[in-house]
Amino acid sequence: MATERRATERRAAADGMAEAEAVCEELADVLRRTGIVLPSLMVDPVTYGYEPPRVLVELGRCNVETTRKLIAVLKRAAQ
């Protein structure tokens, strides 16, 4: 029973990590098409350090110019 539960948790964690990696790639692609690059965009490495993993996306740091571009894109999208 405990073994089955662990296997189920591991599968769910792997699915969550795969989803986080996919959304990071999708976000990077969409941002690139608007001229924005977040160089630190990735699945947070801490995700892999917990059992079960806590899936987080690290948006990272960016300079002021990139932040202004991101604000402009989001403002347009919010209208």
The Cα–Cα gap between 74 and 58 comes to: 18
Query: Which two three-digit tokens encode residue 49?
Result: 């350090």
Q: Taking the model in full, what pTM does it have?
A: 0.76
Query: Which two three-digit tokens encode residue 12?
Result: 């769910």
Q: What is the pLDDT of residue 15?
A: 81
Q: What is the pLDDT of residue 23?
A: 94
Q: What is the pLDDT of residue 30?
A: 93
* Local confidence pLDDT in tens for the 79 residues of the chain: 778 877 777 777 778 888 889 999 999 999 999 999 999 999 988 877 777 667 889 998 999 999 999 999 999 999 9
Cβ neighbors of 3 (< 8 A, separation 6 or more) are none
The Cα–Cα gap between 20 and 53 comes to: 11
Q: What is the pLDDT of residue 73?
A: 93
